[in-house]
Chains A and B, each alone.
Chain A
């Protein structure tokens, strides 16, 4: 197999990444960069999709090994869809996050993938859940993840306010992604943002050169 694949710490293509999800008043915004890398020095894709729709109002973003994450989300999509058909109603965000958690926890030796699940349901409104590498499930008002998140913990903690408006939240998420992509070498490309509300799902793409700049000259 190619040297590039053998050398990387994460088997195969990895999404060394920046992902985040933030709740606001009436919905949730989930966002990511779009870079996939191998071995920390080769960008294998500049336009990878890390925001996977697992149901009508539930998205999840992926981090870690791309192969593992794509396989897990495929299995999760099927299970959530089946669950929703059986219950004859849209699934709860918590149910979707639980499905991912079960898959990650039961296969923790072989898998190297983490997720952020975010969405809207009728029972509890907008929610954000983190599923970490070993299968821990945590509910938070906002969360950041991936290798690029280490650079924006300070920004996120300082700038997050509960009950923001949609525009404020969009600005917060965009700034956070831009700052992380600016400092982390394995995050980059374009910024993908998805706004999920009761009414529907809106996908916003911000090309790299249109992102806010912070002392970049």
Chain B
């Protein structure tokens, strides 16, 4: 039905095959005395704001795995299309793959139809996918973009609910960020004011939430193009390495050395000219 979808949508109505599959899998794992692996989460603060000239998205850059910071410079603002970006909170792999899938589908669609994709289409695809998986895909997404119908900001929840709002925050630090946004958001803000507001909202999330931290990324989407500023602001708590952790060549002594030459002969050689006119 859509001009093309790499992932085949089921015929009609709802398809709950995966629910029974998941239950069976869990039964198998528990029965065999092995635990299902716990997913890595991005305890996160992400926020978005619609302003007069476009949409401003922001995110922190910390990815946690339990109590350890697994990645200090993780990219949470994912590319969807030249005019759309998506921030993701929740399970790191889920947000990464879902946005990748969406991006591929939209690229194929715009090639087939000759039209630029609209934000509302991306949101519908996300909603269909997440609803079909009954909340098993732990991705809370903020999708923002500019298209021929205007500047849009949407939230998509893990169960597949969507909402269209002028300002948003998601992730474990969302309540802190939302406080800043509720206080200072005004409709039709100037771009610089909007960037400052998003920066302050993420900063508030970083300060008040353990799962968020390190640097702040900002992505500004306007009709003219995208400005992905990474990092927009570096953490005030950057640590300085105490010593050099590089080893001189020769630190580990070589005991024996054996060289085996690979015998290769050229069987066939063809030259194909490319027309690079």
Contact = CB atoms under 8 A, between A and B. Distances in A.
A110 B135 CA distance: 12
A51 to B, nearest CB: 14
A36 B157 CA distance: 12
A211 interface: no
B13 A107 contact: yes
A153 interface: no
B90 A48 contact: no
Contacts of A65: 159, 161
Contacts of A103: 13-14
A12 B138 contact: no
Nearest to B182: A46
B158 interface: yes
Contacts of A36: 161, 163
Contacts of A12: 135, 157-161
Contacts of B172: 2
A52 to B, nearest CB: 12
A67 B157 contact: yes
27 contacts: A2-B89, A2-B90, A2-B171, A2-B172, A5-B135, A5-B157, A11-B134, A12-B135, A12-B157, A12-B160, A12-B161, A13-B157, A13-B159, A36-B161, A36-B163, A44-B157, A45-B163, A48-B163, A67-B157, A67-B160, A70-B160, A70-B161, A71-B127, A75-B12, A106-B13, A107-B14, A110-B134
Interface of A: 1-2, 5, 11-13, 36, 44-45, 47-48, 65-68, 70-71, 74-75, 103, 106-107, 110
Given A65-B159, A71-B127, A75-B14, 17 more contacts: A2-B172, A12-B135, A12-B157, A12-B160, A13-B161, A44-B157, A45-B165, A65-B161, A66-B161, A67-B135, A68-B131, A68-B159, A71-B14, A71-B128, A75-B13, A103-B13, A107-B13
